[in-house]
Structure 1
Amino acid sequence: MPAHAAPLTPWARGGLALLCALVVASVVVRVEVSRRQAPPAHRDGWEASGGPVDLGMGGLWPRAAAGPLTMRVAECAAPIAVDFVEASPYQPDPSLVGRPGPTDHVAYVYRGRVLDSRFITIRLNAIYLARLASARLTGDRMPAIDELAVKVIVPAGCPISPEAVMAILRASAPPGSLMP
């Protein structure tokens, strides 16, 4: 058994150099695309399918009105921040939207399902990918391709739950946006 590894052949060195060049090119292209993309907080509405955002329990929010909101409730000294984020691992990271404080309670609501435990961005992406795979396997049109989730940031010290925030949001939905 040799004490050191065998030297690479010229073909192996060339292949390795080509792979390294492709990785560098891929990283450069991804960085350039992400730099040119507008951050989600500055978009005026969402340009996707135009379908409403599902708030759960029959509540829908018009996509054109899906922008950053602040809600004042009597139980909280500071306002509650509500943002609409793209529920896709292929879009900008939703955890960067809204600027929560270190002790604020952050939750995502996707199609009425509250995700407020650890690794919520990963769970949001897993649900998205499962719905996408299900749609592809059953031959349905892709229902999750441009869906939005609701990001709720409850300030520290505020006793209100994300479910209560969603109930307030559904109650304040623009007229005609609730399902029959």
Structure 2
Amino acid sequence: MRAESPELMPWARSSIAILCLLLAASVLSRIHTYRIQPEGGGVVAWEAPSGFVDLGDGILLPRDVAQPMILPIESCSSSASVYFAQVSPYEPDPSLLGRPRPGDRVFYVYRGWHLGNRFINISLNLIYFSRRAYARWKMQKIPTTEDFALKFIVPSSCKASPEAVMAVFRTTLQPFVFPAVQSRG
């Protein structure tokens, strides 16, 4: 018995033709984008340079200083704790960093954005995958391997807002931080 391939229906043929055209358009647009140099010769720096952690507001912290620390807050009787959580689905759960006592407030900050504390794994994974997709779309180096979010554990007796705690954190680290230099195309 001889096996014959069935003939494609007209709608199947047109679907395959549309998919082939989309593939060709995608390849051509990537080639075109790759060959065009940005105006001014630079690219938009969406990244902290390697070896630095972006704290937001144009402030960079060297990676060797980015270690768990105790943050004294003047308006509070006890200090807050700061942890650096790597933004990646392949890293341990950031909610497992540190040990908050019952009643302590926990919040996360990513590049100056206050993320809150609910669904933090989902939020950080969304950031990771969106930055990865953006880098792929722009045909840039994958930036997400060195990204960090800050985890703050503020004692229950301290009523300081997350913005105030972040301001104290930036002033405490002032001797170590560098202004971010961004090249805009």
Using the size of structure 2 for normalisation, the TM-score is: 0.65
Tell me the CA shift for residue 172 of structure 1. 2.4
Post-superposition CA distance 1:69-111 (Å, at most 9, x none)? 1011122222100111111111111111111123211111111
Alignment of structure 1 residues 127-166 onto 2, 5 Å: 127-166=127-166
* Superposed structure 1 runs of 4+ greater than 6 Å apart: none
**Hey, what's the Cα distance between the residues in 2 that align with 1:109 and 1:121?**
13
Alignment of structure 1 residues 111-130 onto 2, 5 Å: 111-130=111-130
Q: Does 1:81 align with 2:45?
A: no
Question: Match of 1:115, SS?
Answer: strand
Percent identity over the alignment is 47
Contact 2:52 / 2:60 at 8 angstroms: preserved in 1?
A: yes
**Hey, what's the Cα distance between the residues in 2 that align with 1:150 and 1:142?**
21
Using the size of structure 1 for normalisation, the TM-score is: 0.67
For this pair of structures, how many residues does the alignment match?
132
Contact 2:65 / 2:176 at 8 angstroms: preserved in 1?
A: no
Contact 2:135 / 2:141 at 8 angstroms: preserved in 1?
A: yes
Distance 1:83 1:176, change over 3 A: closer
Question: Match of 2:178, SS?
Answer: coil
Tell me the CA shift for residue 136 of structure 1. 1.3
Higher relative contact order (CA 8 A, sep 6+): 2
Letter in 2 for 1:72: P
Q: CA RMSD in A?
A: 1.8
**Hey, what's the Cα distance between the residues in 1 that align with 2:125 and 2:134?**
14
Q: Based on CA coordinates, which of the two structures has the bigger radius of gyration?
A: 2
Question: Match of 1:152, SS?
Answer: strand
Name structure 2 gaps, 5 residues minimum. 1-48
Contact 1:68 / 1:81 at 8 angstroms: preserved in 2?
A: yes
Distance 1:102 1:125, change over 3 A: farther
